[in-house]
Amino acid sequence: MPRILVTGANGFVGSILCPMLSAGGHAVRAATRTERPGPGGTVESVVVGDINGSTAWTGALSGVDMVMHLAARVHAVNEAAEDSHLYLETNAHGTRHLAEAAARHGVRRFIYLSSVKVNGEENTQHAYSANDVPHPLDAYGSSKWRAEQLLAVTAASTGMQAVIVRSPLVYGPGVRANFLRLLRSVDQERSLPLGAIRNRRSLVNVWNLCDLLIRVLDHPAAAGRAWMVSDGEDLSTPELVRRIARAMGRRARLAALPVPLLHLAGALLGKQAEMRRLCGSLTVDITPTRTQLGWSPPVPVDEALARTVSWYRSTQLAAGSGR
């Protein structure tokens, strides 16, 4: 039975992926940053500390056949601009260092969870594909693109197989930031001025993402390629609000404020980037993923939203908060 090392095992995606791998009969070793409970079940845990260009991987990689590298530095609120080099240190140099160590230990396949931010932030003419010229616009996206490049160099020089999965926004239990704020707003039936937005956005629920990550573990066509992933159903921001409201049994209260006024409000409040994401389109093309990997998203959007709402409600109950 092949042993799989999963980095970021206690994170948002890793906490779902590790039990799925274990349930599928895989031997899983979960790499964690600190000494704390791992994903549980039959998953073995190993502490590796911070991931960067000098992380000690020898113990974690011993006897490992495949690596799933999920760990990354993500955007932090109020992060100073001068801290942008930390993205490169963790996401790019940390990935290169792990890939080189994996190759030395005889790992045969290295799966890297990247981001659609490698492609860019917005599209209107066509959906992003893995063949597009990368155009990252922030420090995070640039660091993920650099990581992809460094991984490709390592794979080419060692013979280790590399697989890249570029994901759009992921939602599910444990989701944070804008998606969690949207859940709260809909749950409280706040009036949201988003009704005039006419955009399309690709999302992926955590179960569909994990299902594809498991598919590329051993699929012969996956190696040496980057693959796009999504739920296969692109939604406008107002439609997403309506779907969440339906899952919650709440009213979707949408006011139709003109989009230029939304952008103006975002500028005045210092939330331009957040407003661009709410109003703009970002879609990905998963046709090659479907046809060449024989993969289809197994969990429909409405079911995934229902599961996410169930998690959200459980956190509200645990916190002792009412509606």
- Which residue type sits at 271? K
- Closest to 46 (Cα-Cα) out of 59, 56, 55: 59
282 contacts 234 by C-beta, under 8 angstroms: no
Concatenated DSSP letters of 91-104:
IIIHHHHHHHHHHH
Indicate the DSSP class of residue 142. H
Of 60, 72, 41, the residue nearest 101 (C-alpha): 60
The 8-class DSSP code of residue 285 comes to -
Write down the residue that tokens 């996956």 correspond to.
222
Q: Tokens standing for 171?
A: 């939602």
Identify how many contiguous H helices and E strands the chain contains and give both numbers.
12, 9
What distance in Å separates the CA atoms of residue 36 and residue 49, rounded to the nearest whole number?
A: 11
Would you please indicate which residues are annotated as catalytic (active-site) residues? 140
Single-letter amino acid code for the residue at 46: V
Amino acid letter at 93?
Answer: H
Query: Are 144 and 118 a contacting pair, CB within 8 Å?
Result: yes
